Amino acid sequence: MDRKYKDCIITYVLMGICIIVYLYTTLRYGVEMSAMEGIEVGGFNPLYIYYNHEYFRFITANFIHFGLMHIFCNIYSLYNLGILMEKILKKKKYAIVIIVSMLSTTCFSYLLFLLFNSGTNSVMGGISGVIFGLIGSLLALAILYKDIYSYLFKQIATSVLLMFFISVAIPSISLSGHIGGMLGGFVTTIILEKINIKKKMIIN
């Protein structure tokens, strides 16, 4: 395998899973997928978790997409940001950030349901929460290591603000999922880096 692909294997696997799932749902339902069809293939809705205990939806929802534009935008963003962050964080930390971002995307929305009964009529899906998790991870690095990573975050800051504006402006996009993913990536990276710093201090 080419070294370029080995260095970013997690990102390519994530992209591959999303594409395969989308091809499956396209063959089953067509190019565009309805909310109920999304539920059938693992989309997130808090009621199905609260009453049916279908906890797999916390993860599976991250891999389903509701249309061609939905998956195209997410795969494009994941490709650009994922490759960068996988090289920066290295595989182990990158994998942890990805997993936590997946869970925080859906768990944050579930928490809002438990507290405020919100999201009962919505179905959430897509890898965008993980993308926001990677944005949060880069923000954490920019805060911890300003001289090294702040310029990288500044380069995407305008795009991040635009993405948040779109999340607010378009009701069908899950703002809570994006916020949850970003918080998960941010907090996880802070913790991982603090642990890493302590290990270096002990060794020295």
- pTM score above 0.85: yes
What pLDDT is stored for residue 159 in this prediction?
84
Q: Give pLDDT tens digits for 162-195.
A: 888 887 777 778 899 999 999 999 999 999 999 9
Q: State how far the alpha carbon of 185 is from the alpha carbons of 21, 39, 179, 190, in Å.
A: 24, 26, 10, 9
Q: Give pLDDT tens digits for 78-123.
A: 999 999 999 999 999 999 999 999 999 999 999 999 999 999 999 9
DSSP bridge partners of 124:
44
What pLDDT is stored for residue 5 in this prediction?
67
What pLDDT is stored for residue 79 in this prediction?
95
* CATH top class, domain 3-203: mainly alpha
Phi-psi region of 122 (alpha: psi -120 to 50; beta: other; left: phi over 0): beta
Taking the domains of the chain in order of start, what are their residue ranges? 3-203
DSSP bridge partners of 44:
124
In the chain, pLDDT over 70 holds for what percent of residues? 95
